[in-house]
């Protein structure tokens, strides 16, 4: 069975307290190392599972079930990447990647940056870059499916975090209804119905 390496960024109680470390170990997180950087807690996992999606879903459930009040915020590796990060992930020099991005090397058509951090720093969406390397350079820097899985999980985690912040029941119910009634989304997720945050009746 393959082993998947990834990092969960976690908000909430101190994961490194003796009590919580014991609870995490008992919950099956003995394949993770816990720490913090710049006041953000993390869990570095090396988890065996048939697929990355199964590894992520089980790790997120285990952490949040073991430590009440904890919430996984994001999965790393990060989706938005600089030229330096692209160079590291593709095992190339930053200068070479810069030339690819500017169309001065390679086949051209490098994905456009999605935002500027400051006047000199651009960032790209890693899923776009990985797809370009696979299509135009003949070799993907990471399995495409794994890249997409992380994007999906981060999107779901982000959506869940913002839904919890909604103060009006009407807004929460409207979001839940949209998800239940969106046929394309339900088809993509392979589910016949989804429950609302407040337990509204599932559509059939």
Give pLDDT tens digits for 155-189: 889 888 888 778 888 887 887 777 777 776 666 66
7: its two tokens: 């990092």
Nearest to 10 by CA among 58, 76, 93: 76
d(CA 68, CA 50): 27
Q: SS3 helix, strand, coil % of the chain, rounded to 5?
A: 45, 20, 35
Q: CATH: 1.10.3470, 2.60.60, 3.30.70, 2.50.20. Which one for 3-76?
A: 3.30.70
145: its two tokens: 């499916």
Mean pLDDT for the chain? 85
Among the ranges 8-17, 74-83, 132-141, which has the highest mean pLDDT value?
8-17
Nearest to 14 by CA among 33, 42, 38, 49: 42
Give the CA count within 13 Å in the CB-facing half-sphere of 69.
5
Prediction pTM value: 0.67
Residue 147's SS3 state is helix
d(CA 75, CA 88): 18
Which secondary structure element, helix H or strand E, spans residue 95, and what is its range? helix 94-101
191 sits in the region (left: phi over 0; alpha: psi -120 to 50; else beta) called: beta
Domain ranges of the chain: 3-76, 80-144, 168-204
- Contact by Cβ (8 Å): 20, 74: no
Give pLDDT tens digits for 87-127: 988 899 999 999 999 999 999 999 999 888 887 889 998 88
Question: What CA–CA distances, in Å, run from 112 to 8, 85, 134?
Answer: 28, 16, 16
φ, ψ (nearest 5 deg) of residue 46: -130, 90
């Amino acid at each position: 069975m393959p082993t998947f390496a990834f990092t969960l960024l976690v908000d909430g109680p101190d994961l490194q307290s003796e009590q919580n470390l014991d609870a995490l170990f008992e919950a099956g997180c003995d394949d993770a190392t816990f720490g913090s950087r710049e006041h953000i807690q993390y869990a570095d996992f090396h988890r065996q599972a048939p697929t990355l999606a199964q590894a992520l879903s089980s790790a997120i459930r285990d952490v949040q079930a073991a430590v009440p009040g904890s919430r996984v915020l994001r999965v790393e590796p990060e989706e938005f990447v600089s030229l330096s990060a692209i160079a590291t992930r593709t095992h190339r020099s930053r200068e070479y990647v810069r030339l690819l991005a500017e169309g001065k090397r390679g086949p051209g058509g490098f994905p456009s940056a999605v935002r500027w951090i400051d006047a000199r720093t651009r960032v790209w969406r890693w899923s776009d870059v990985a797809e370009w390397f696979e299509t135009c350079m003949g070799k993907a820097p990471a399995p495409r499916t794994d890249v997409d899985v992380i994007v999906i999980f981060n999107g779901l985690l982000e959506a869940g975090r913002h839904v919890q912040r909604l103060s009006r029941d009407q807004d929460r119910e409207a979001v839940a209804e949209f998800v239940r009634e969106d046929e394309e989304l339900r088809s993509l997720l392979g589910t016949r119905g989804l429950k609302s945050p407040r337990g509204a009746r599932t559509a059939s």
